[in-house]
Amino acid sequence: MGCGWLGKPLAVSLIEKGAKVKGTTTRIEKLDDLRDAGIDPYMVDLQETFIDGGIDDFLEGLGIIVINIPPGLRANPESDYAGRIQLLVKNCNAHDSIKQLIYISTTAVFEETADIPNYNESSPANATDKKGKKLIAGEQMLNHAMASTTVIRPGGLIGGDRHPVKYLAGKKNIANPDAPINLTDREYLIDVIEKVIHGDIQQPLLHAISEKHETRRSYYDQKAAEFNLEAPEFDERKNMGKRIVSEIL
């Protein structure tokens, strides 16, 4: 569910390995593109109180569903994200064929602090900002799922033409120069998801970080040089962060 920057390549990879894959989009102009990639496409738009489109047709006959829905909290901070996930889970529970639910979450459920703590899968989610609390509530809605569930928390997603240094290049007063990065390459995340699908990893919660925990300053200086971009300038007075690690991967 959600065939965008991550979902579509995941679907294509699964199809290449012999799986039959349904996929959703919220944009009618993308249906042909998904169909051309071998994906059985559906228009589905998950709202707070209803689901627009063919949700029942999409869910019918599924054995596994990967939920990869951007929360959209930056554009709409007041959105009831947990309500949207609760509604989706309720619809999934109405289809007995669904035995496994894989939910792509985020490490934003953890607080950044000056002592730069380590958070692993045993660490309680502790974000105190509005966005973080909404993301935590979204994860908690999975407790109502009848299917076996796995929550995967990647860091900031990179891969293809997507890299944060492109947005930071040349900017000044960037905070937290000594904080570690927590980034996840798309191909690495796809591999983790496929291992969960195939039963090679059987855990209710995974932290999926692929890149070494370099400091932001070191990492972005290096990447700016690689991309032939102007390096960002950092504010030495501000330094908060977190280090996301895994006991499993």
Here the CATH number for the domain that contains residue 187 is 3.40.50.720
Tens-place pLDDT, residues 129-162: 999 999 999 999 999 999 999 999 999 999 999 9
* Alpha helix stretches (DSSP H) within the chain: 7-16, 31-36, 55-59, 81-93, 130-140, 165-168, 186-197, 216-226
Mean pLDDT of 70-91: 87
Q: What is the pLDDT, as a whole number, of residue 111?
A: 97
Question: Which residues, at least 6 apart from 29, have a Cβ–Cβ distance to it below 8 Å?
Answer: none
In a domain, 89, yes or no: yes
Per the domain annotation, does 221 fall within a domain?
Answer: no
* Domain range enclosing 82: 7-160+182-210
pTM for the full predicted model? 0.96
Residue 224 within any structural domain of the chain: no
Q: What is the mean pLDDT of residues 14-18?
A: 97
What DSSP state is assigned to residue 8? H
On whether residue 47 sits in a domain, the answer given is yes
* Residue 202 placed within a domain: yes
* 70 pLDDT more than 90: no
The tens digit of pLDDT for each residue in 190-203 reads 999 999 999 999 99
Asked if residue 248 is part of any domain, the answer here is: no
Torsion angle (degrees, nearest 10) of CA 79, 81, 83, 88? 130
Query: Is a pLDDT exceeding 90 seen at residue 73?
Result: no
* Spatial distance between the Cα atoms of 181 and 209, rounded to a whole number of angstroms: 10
Q: How many domains does the chain have?
A: 1
pLDDT at 238 over 80: no
Write down the pLDDT at residue 76. 79
Long-range Cβ contacts of 156-160 (<8 Å, 24+ apart): 156/181, 156/182, 156/183, 156/184, 157/5, 157/6, 157/183, 157/184, 157/186, 157/189, 158/183, 158/184, 158/185, 158/186, 158/211, 159/185, 159/186, 159/187, 160/5, 160/186
Question: Does residue 48 carry a pLDDT above 90?
Answer: no
In this predicted structure, what is the pLDDT of residue 190? 98
Place of tokens 């855990």: 203
Residue 75 has pLDDT above 80, yes or no: no
Does residue 32 sit within a domain?
yes
